[in-house]
């Protein structure tokens, strides 16, 4: 295999593996902020116990996220040197801003969040939790800005030609608010909230089924269900906005998402299907004119198809893009149905009486996580053959001095470490879930802080 | 060309990156040093205390590398691209050990089994040693120069990074980090571990002085280009002289058992040595051993003035914030280590 395909596999593999963890951390961070906020507001120790329990799981996802995150930063330089030279002037400031505003904030407060329960007051601890969560949110801002710039470059001009060409920034804010960054950021954030909320739903549904930590689990389940219901509905709006943006800014990608070939004709929308690139046929269940309607509110409005683009500018992996996109959408719809149904049952007061529903929630944690992965696969494969849309081809972005056997070595290395890492993650997650929240603290009504406050009062 | 305080933007950004790397060396240097010494602690409790001394801070410290790398990418994309792609294998190994260090700290104390803990202790220590050596090896290669050809592309053999000079700098880095780590742990521990560490600190500083003398000799004899700057501007000799004094002060403070001051001086030593490196290189960042025309300097590698200006603003806003919460975390975990249920 050549350097290009190996480097692409390596980047895809390392970034996809990494992306299991940050969404969980962002989502769990939100839930932890809610739990600690509830504790501060109500003084109910149950929320404190829940927050402590979820912090332990958060520590696991966050730790692996940090360990695997630095890999991509290095890979820009090691595997994609031409790309780094090309985009550094523009892309670099987003990455530097991420480091200084986001990582430092989250890693700085993380120590207090994990180890500071007995060292700082609940209020300061809440601030630390908030700091870590906001840090992870900011981190998403800058990384999505950087990626969106690759999808819809703005605020730059190209200097030099051929091998010496590179993009230079002309307008920082135009780069930050490039045409796709806001809608994609919201989409990514909401996806992360769903990942966290569904993990909480899954674990507490499991406890309820096993008749363990029942009172705690009901509380946590309800908080997570509120988040999941609102966010999955919100994702419908955000996802639609994102698709509208793709239609406007990256028509070739949009055409690939729905397998729409004809250059200038009304486009169908498929509920499911199979794309045959050779015959330019999609076999499946279409809604005739559906895509036209979604974009223009008119079933007959033409949509630019793949044939409008020269073959060398079309995304090559059409069926894969189609499938990833459609599975993402389908999983989103199932999440909406599931959370609405559960909310309805809650309203009827029968939420925890249906065991089958709880079982569904135990496994539903896969939905947002797979949707997040598949969405990114569709977005990134849909951008091909470009690494920077319309400007720099992926095949031109490689490191000239790196040979295939070196990349093969590192690819095997990453495969082995990540296999180990994933096994450890699952093992530890399982162990922490089996261990569960430490309810013994609930028996002991006086917290250490109360004792300390009392002692201070006596002085 | 735009200037600030009389310095042009590429020079300023060169200084910012120097500052970040020196912050990284000082902060992660003690984590790595503590890790390198880890297997010298024989008792389970000692190992846990040593691990928890770096527990709350190592992750924040590693962020300085992420920021430093990001700043290098942003400010000097050409350097970033040429150095990282030219030294592909060492950087990949660096990632491997970085991940192993992280998961060793994370997972070590999660199980009671002795084999489990021993396994992670070994991987933690080996990873810390390897990371320290690799950092030094990269620095050594930057000092001696690498085979950079046209378009900033490395054209040498992939094994060239393992040259004697770079390895020597690698071992020296390990020795300095070990000293630094021992001094850090001395501030955080008590009792028998403390007694053991005071011996280790003494040995580590001797080890460092020996290897550092060898590096200095090697540099003076075989790598004349690194001393040209001092011949042109003799007053700059102040900096290496200060570095030597700072190094000499460390064993003095160790024998007086003033470990906190010793730690401060090992930190100062790192900064001074990096300033010496900066003086030797400036304005070259990557020296080509093929032809001087292929040298990558801060001027032919820098991002546009506009971009550097934006990032200087970002750095000016961000740095006080970073320093503030770094200080807050260290303050929260000040004093000797106590193990509780949240510890590693």
Profile chain A (459 residues) by mean pLDDT over runs of 10 residues. 90 96 95 92 90 91 88 92 90 80 79 81 89 91 92 89 84 90 94 96 94 90 94 94 90 89 83 84 84 86 87 89 94 95 92 91 95 95 91 89 90 94 93 87 56 54
Weakest mean pLDDT among A171-180, B179-188, B228-237, B334-343: B334-343
Whether the link from the prior residue into A56 is cis, omega within 30° of 0, is: no
Residues of A in contact with B98 (CB under 8 A): 67, 70
3-class secondary structure per residue, A93-157: HHHHHHHHHHHHHHHHHHHHHHHCCCCCCHHHHHHHHHHHHHHHHHHHHHHHHHHHHHHCCCCEE
**Other residues' Cβ atoms within 10 Å of the Cβ of residue A133:** 24
- B81–A81 C-beta distance less than 8 A: yes
Reduced to 3 states (helix: H, G, I; strand: E, B; else coil), residue A349 is: coil
Q: Give the closest residue to A99 by CA, choosing from A73, A79, A64.
A: A73
**Other residues' Cβ atoms within 10 Å of the Cβ of residue A157:** 11
How far apart are the C-alpha atoms of A397 and A247, rounded to whole Å?
A: 26
- B99–A93 C-beta distance less than 8 A: no
CA distance B339 to chain A (A): 10
How far apart are the C-alpha atoms of A229 and A194, rounded to whole Å?
A: 9
- B332–A120 C-beta distance less than 8 A: yes
How far apart are the C-alpha atoms of A301 and B46, rounded to whole Å?
A: 73
CB A169 within 8 A of CB B157: no
**N- to C-terminal Cα separation, chain A:** 75
User: Token pair for residue B114?
Assistant: 């002795």
How far apart are the C-alpha atoms of A266 and A249, rounded to whole Å?
A: 18
- A99–B63 C-beta distance less than 8 A: yes
Strand partners, A265: A303
- A96–B314 C-beta distance less than 8 A: yes
Whether the link from the prior residue into A157 is cis, omega within 30° of 0, is: no
Reduced to 3 states (helix: H, G, I; strand: E, B; else coil), residue B189 is: coil
Which residue blocks in chain B are alpha helix, DSSP H? 9-36, 44-54, 58-75, 77-86, 88-107, 114-144, 164-188, 191-222, 228-232, 238-255, 259-281, 298-301, 305-332
What secondary structure letter does DSSP report for B146? Answer: B
CB A67 within 8 A of CB B103: yes
CB A255 within 8 A of CB A277: no
How far apart are the C-alpha atoms of A256 and A262, rounded to whole Å?
A: 11
Strands of A277-432, DSSP E:
281-287, 302-304, 386-388, 392-393
C-alpha dihedral, A123 to A126 to A127 to A129, nearest 10°: 160
**Radius of gyration, CA atoms only, chain B:** 20
CB B168 within 8 A of CB B254: no
What pLDDT does A294 receive?
A: 84
A172 in reach of chain B (CB within 8 A): yes
pLDDT digits (tens, 9 = 90+) for B157-177: 888 888 999 999 999 999 999
**% residues pLDDT > 70 (chain B):** 99
Task: Name the residue ranges covered by the structural domains of chain B.
Answer: 7-332
CB A442 within 8 A of CB A45: yes
How far apart are the C-alpha atoms of A258 and A254, rounded to whole Å?
A: 7
What pLDDT does B333 receive?
A: 76
Mean pLDDT confidence for B116-135:
94
| Of A68, A109, A166, Cβ closest to residue B99 | A68
CB A11 within 8 A of CB A414: no
CA distance A360 to chain B (A): 30
Q: Say if strands B284-286 and B7-8 run parallel, antiparallel, or are unpaired.
A: unpaired
A134 in reach of chain B (CB within 8 A): no
| Of A88, A111, A117, Cβ closest to residue B57 | A111
What pLDDT does B31 receive?
A: 93
What pLDDT does A109 receive?
A: 82
How far apart are the C-alpha atoms of A358 and A210, rounded to whole Å?
A: 11
Please state the φ and ψ torsions of residue A152, each to the nearest 5 degrees: -135, 80
How far apart are the C-alpha atoms of A217 and A203, rounded to whole Å?
A: 9
- A97–B314 C-beta distance less than 8 A: yes
- B66–A70 C-beta distance less than 8 A: yes
**Radius of gyration, CA atoms only, chain A:** 24
For the stretch B258-262, contacts whose Cβ atoms lie closer than 8 Å and that sit 24 or more positions apart, written own/partner, are B259/B183, B259/B186, B259/B187, B259/B198, B259/B201, B260/B183, B260/B187, B262/B183, B262/B186, B262/B201
Distance of alpha carbon B160 from the chain centroid? 22
CA distance B67 to chain A (A): 5
H or E, element range at A25: helix A21-42
CB pairs A-B closer than 8 Å: 236
- Which residues numbered 85-104 in A keep a CB inside 8 Å of some CB on B? 85, 87-93, 95-101, 103-104
H or E, element range at A72: helix A45-78
What pLDDT does B179 receive?
A: 95
Q: Is pLDDT above 90 for B264?
A: yes
Q: What ipTM does this complex have?
A: 0.88
Burial class (CB in 10 A: 0-12, 13-18, 19+), B154: buried
CB A59 within 8 A of CB B31: no
pLDDT digits (tens, 9 = 90+) for B13-45: 899 899 999 999 999 999 999 999 999 988 888
Q: Give the closest residue to A398 by CA, choosing from A1, A166, A79.
A: A79
Burial class (CB in 10 A: 0-12, 13-18, 19+), A6: buried
What pLDDT does B329 receive?
A: 76
The Cα angle at residue B65 between residues B64 and B69, in degrees rounded to 5: 120
**Other residues' Cβ atoms within 10 Å of the Cβ of residue A138:** 18
Average model confidence (pLDDT) across chain B: 88
Q: Who wins on pLDDT, A192 or B334? A: A192
Residue B191 binned pLDDT confidence (cut-offs 50, 70, 90): confident
Q: Give the closest residue to B201 by CA, choosing from B255, B240, B238, B122.
A: B255
Q: Is pLDDT above 90 for B293?
A: no
Please state the φ and ψ torsions of residue B85, each to the nearest 5 degrees: -75, -30
How far apart are the C-alpha atoms of A302 and A281, rounded to whole Å?
A: 18
How far apart are the C-alpha atoms of A456 and A438, rounded to whole Å?
A: 28
For the stretch A233-240, contacts whose Cβ atoms lie closer than 8 Å and that sit 24 or more positions apart, written own/partner, are A233/A336, A233/A340, A234/A190, A235/A187, A235/A190, A235/A191, A235/A194, A235/A332, A235/A335, A236/A332, A236/A336, A238/A183, A238/A186, A238/A187, A238/A190, A239/A187, A239/A329, A239/A332, A240/A294
Q: Is pLDDT above 70 for B193?
A: yes
What pLDDT does A196 receive?
A: 96
Q: Which chain B residue shows the shortest CA-CA distance from A52? A: B342
What pLDDT does A183 receive?
A: 93
């Amino acid at each position: 295999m050549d350097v290009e395909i190996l480097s692409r596999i390596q980047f895809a593999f390392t970034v996809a593996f990494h992306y299991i963890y940050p969404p969980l951390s962002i989502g769990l961070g939100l839930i932890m902020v809610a739990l600690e906020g509830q504790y501060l507001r109500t003084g109910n120790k149950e929320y404190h116990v829940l927050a402590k329990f979820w912090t332990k799981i958060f520590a696991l996802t966050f730790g692996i996220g940090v360990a695997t995150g630095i890999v991509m930063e290095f890979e820009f330089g090691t595997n994609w040197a031409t790309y780094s030279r090309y985009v550094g002037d523009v892309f670099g400031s987003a990455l530097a801003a991420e480091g200084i505003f986001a990582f430092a904030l989250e890693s700085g407060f993380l120590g207090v969040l994990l180890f500071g329960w007995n060292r700082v007051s609940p209020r300061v601890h809440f601030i630390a939790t908030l700091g870590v969560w906001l840090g992870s949110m900011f981190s998403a801002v800058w990384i999505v800005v950087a990626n969106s710039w690759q999808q819809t470059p703005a605020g730059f001009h190209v200097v030099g030609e051929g091998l010496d060409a590179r993009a230079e920034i002309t307008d920082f804010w135009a780069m930050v608010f490039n045409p796709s960054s806001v809608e994609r950021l919201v989409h990514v954030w909401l996806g992360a909230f769903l990942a966290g909320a569904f993990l909480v739903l899954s674990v507490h549904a499991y406890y309820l089924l096993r008749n363990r930590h029942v009172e705690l689990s009901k509380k946590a389940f309800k908080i997570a269900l509120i988040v999941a219901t609102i966010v999955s509905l919100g994702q419908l709006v955000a996802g639609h906005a994102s698709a509208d943006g793709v239609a406007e800014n990256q028509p070739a990608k949009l055409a690939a998402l729905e397998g729409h070939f004809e250059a200038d004709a009304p486009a169908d929308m498929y509920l499911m299907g199979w794309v045959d690139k050779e015959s330019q046929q999609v076999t499946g269940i279409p809604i005739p004119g559906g895509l036209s309607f979604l974009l223009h509110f008119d079933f007959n409005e033409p949509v630019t198809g793949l044939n409008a683009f020269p073959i060398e500018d079309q995304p090559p992996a059409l069926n894969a893009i189609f499938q990833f996109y459609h599975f993402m959408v389908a999983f989103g719809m199932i999440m909406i149905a599931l959370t609405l149904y559960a909310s309805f049952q809650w309203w009827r007061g029968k939420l925890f009486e249906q065991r089958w529903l709880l079982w569904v929630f135990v496994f539903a944690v896969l939905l947002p996580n797979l949707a997040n992965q598949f969405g990114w696969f569709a977005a990134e494969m849909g951008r091909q053959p470009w690494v920077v849309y319309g400007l720099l081809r992926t095949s031109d972005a490689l490191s000239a001095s790196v040979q295939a056997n070196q990349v093969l070595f590192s690819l095997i290395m990453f495969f082995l470490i990540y296999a180990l890492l994933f096994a450890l993650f699952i093992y530890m997650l399982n162990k922490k879930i089996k261990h569960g929240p430490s309810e013994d603290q609930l028996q002991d009504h006086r917290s250490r802080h109360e004792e300390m406050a009392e002692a201070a009062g006596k002085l | 060309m735009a200037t600030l305080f009389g310095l042009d933007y590429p020079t300023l950004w060169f200084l910012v990156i120097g500052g970040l790397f020196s912050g990284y060396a000082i902060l992660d240097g003690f984590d790595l040093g503590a890790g390198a010494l880890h297997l010298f602690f024989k008792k389970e409790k000692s190992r846990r205390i040593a691990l928890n001394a770096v527990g709350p801070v190592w992750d924040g410290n590693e962020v300085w590398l992420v920021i430093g790398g990001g700043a290098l990418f942003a400010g000097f994309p050409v350097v970033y691209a040429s150095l990282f792609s030219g030294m592909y294998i060492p950087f990949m190994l660096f990632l491997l050990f970085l991940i192993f260090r992280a998961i060793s700290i994370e997972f070590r104390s999660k199980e009671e089994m002795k084999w489990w803990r021993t396994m992670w202790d070994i991987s933690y220590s080996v990873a810390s040693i390897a990371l320290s050596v690799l950092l030094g090896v990269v620095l050594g290669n930057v000092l001696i120069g690498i085979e950079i050809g046209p378009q900033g592309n490395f054209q040498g053999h992939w094994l060239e990074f393992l040259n004697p000079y770079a390895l020597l700098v690698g071992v020296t880095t390990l020795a300095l980090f070990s000293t630094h780590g021992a001094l850090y742990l001395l501030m955080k521990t008590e009792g028998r571990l403390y007694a053991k560490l005071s011996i280790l600190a003494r040995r580590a500083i001797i080890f460092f002085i020996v290897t550092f003398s060898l590096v200095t000799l090697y540099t003076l004899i075989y790598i004349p280009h690194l001393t040209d700057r001092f011949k042109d501007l003799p007053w700059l000799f102040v900096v290496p002289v200060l570095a030597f004094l700072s190094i000499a002060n460390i064993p003095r403070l160790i024998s007086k058992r003033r470990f906190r001051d010793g730690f401060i001086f090992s930190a100062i030593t790192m900064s001074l040595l990096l300033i010496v490196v900066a003086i030797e290189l400036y304005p070259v960042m990557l020296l080509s051993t093929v032809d001087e025309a292929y040298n990558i300097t801060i001027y032919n590698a820098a991002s546009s003035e506009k971009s550097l200006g934006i990032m200087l603003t970002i750095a000016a806003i961000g740095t006080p914030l970073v320093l503030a919460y770094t200080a807050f975390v260290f303050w929260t975990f000040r004093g000797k280590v106590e193990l509780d249920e949240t510890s590693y």
